[in-house]
Amino acid sequence: MARIPRITNQQILEAARQVFLQQGFGASTLEIAQQAGISEASIFKRFSTKEELFFAAMGIPEKPLWVSELESLSCKGNLKENLINICLQIMEFYSEVLPQIVMLRSRGNAFPELGGKEPGPIRDFKALKAFLEDEINQNRLRPCDPHTVAHILLGSLMNYVFLEQISSQVRIATANLPIETYLNSQDRATEVSAFIQSLVDIIWPGISPIQD
C-alpha cells in the first residue's frame, strides 16, 4: 500500500509562496524545501519544474478558467448574459492574481524567463479579442473594433480590482476584518455584480447587433 505523504501539495505551495514573495523567482528550491520540511527531491516528485511550482504557488494558472469559458460560450446563448458571466469570472481571477503580482513587483522580485512565449495577460487579451471577433463574424455583435472592446472590458475590470485592493485596506482596518473575509463577503459580491452589470449596460448599445 502506498504511503500517504506527510506534507501535502498545499503545504509545499504555501512554503513556496512565502519564499517567492520574499526573493522572487531567483529563490532556491532547496530553501523552499527547507521551509516546507521536506527534501528538495520531494518537490520535483510533485512539480516537474521550478516554473510550474512558481506559478502554482502564486496562484497564476497557465490558462485561466475564464479563457476556457470563452471557448464553450462562443456563438452560443444570450451574448449579453455571456459577457456578464465572463466579466464576473475575469474579476474573480484578477482579484486572486493581481495582488500577488503587485506585491512581487513592488519588492522588485523577478518572474521566470518566458523563453520566447507570450506573457499570460497578452494571451488572455488575445483570447477575449478572438471571442469578440467570432461574435462579430456571426452577426451577434455589430461591426466594431474587437481590440478596443477587449481593452475596455479588461482594463475596466483590472482597474476595479486595483482600486478595490487599495480602498479595501481602509474598510478592513475600520471593520477589523481579514482581507479574505471581505473579498468573500456578500456585500462585496453585490458591489462587483452591480459594477459589471453597469459596465456591460454602458458598452452594449455600441456593440449590440443592428436591428433590421
Is the confidence at residue 49, as pLDDT, over 90?
no
Q: How far is Cα 56 from Cα 47, in angstroms, rounded to an integer?
A: 9
Report, as an integer, the average pLDDT of 137-149. Answer: 95
Highest mean pLDDT among 49-53, 139-143, 172-176: 139-143
- Give me the pLDDT at residue 100, please: 73
Is the predicted pLDDT of residue 113 greater than 90, yes or no? Answer: no
Reported as a single tens digit per residue, the pLDDT across 101-112 is 776 666 555 666
Whether 153 contacts 84, CB under 8 Å: no
Q: Where are the alpha helices (DSSP H) in the chain?
A: 9-23, 29-36, 40-46, 50-57, 65-73, 79-106, 120-137, 146-175, 179-183, 186-207
pLDDT at 122 over 90: no
* pLDDT given for residue 208 in this prediction: 93
pLDDT of residue 83: 96
- Check whether 86 has a pLDDT greater than 90: yes
25: left (phi over 0), alpha (psi -120 to 50) or beta: alpha
Please tell me the predicted confidence (pLDDT) of residue 180.
60
pLDDT of residue 1: 45
* Residue 207 CB contacts under 8 Å (≥ 6 apart), including other chains: 141, 142, 144, 149
Predicted confidence (pLDDT) at residue 4 exceeds the cutoff of 60: no
* Average pLDDT over all residues of the chain: 84
The whole-number pLDDT of residue 115 equals 57
- pLDDT (average), residues 127-148: 95
Does the pLDDT of residue 134 top 80, yes or no?
yes
Query: Does the pLDDT at position 173 exceed 60?
Result: no
For residue 84, what pLDDT is reported?
96
Between 173 and 189, whose confidence is greater?
189
The pLDDT value given to residue 32:
93
Closest CA to 108 of 196, 203, 15, 22: 22
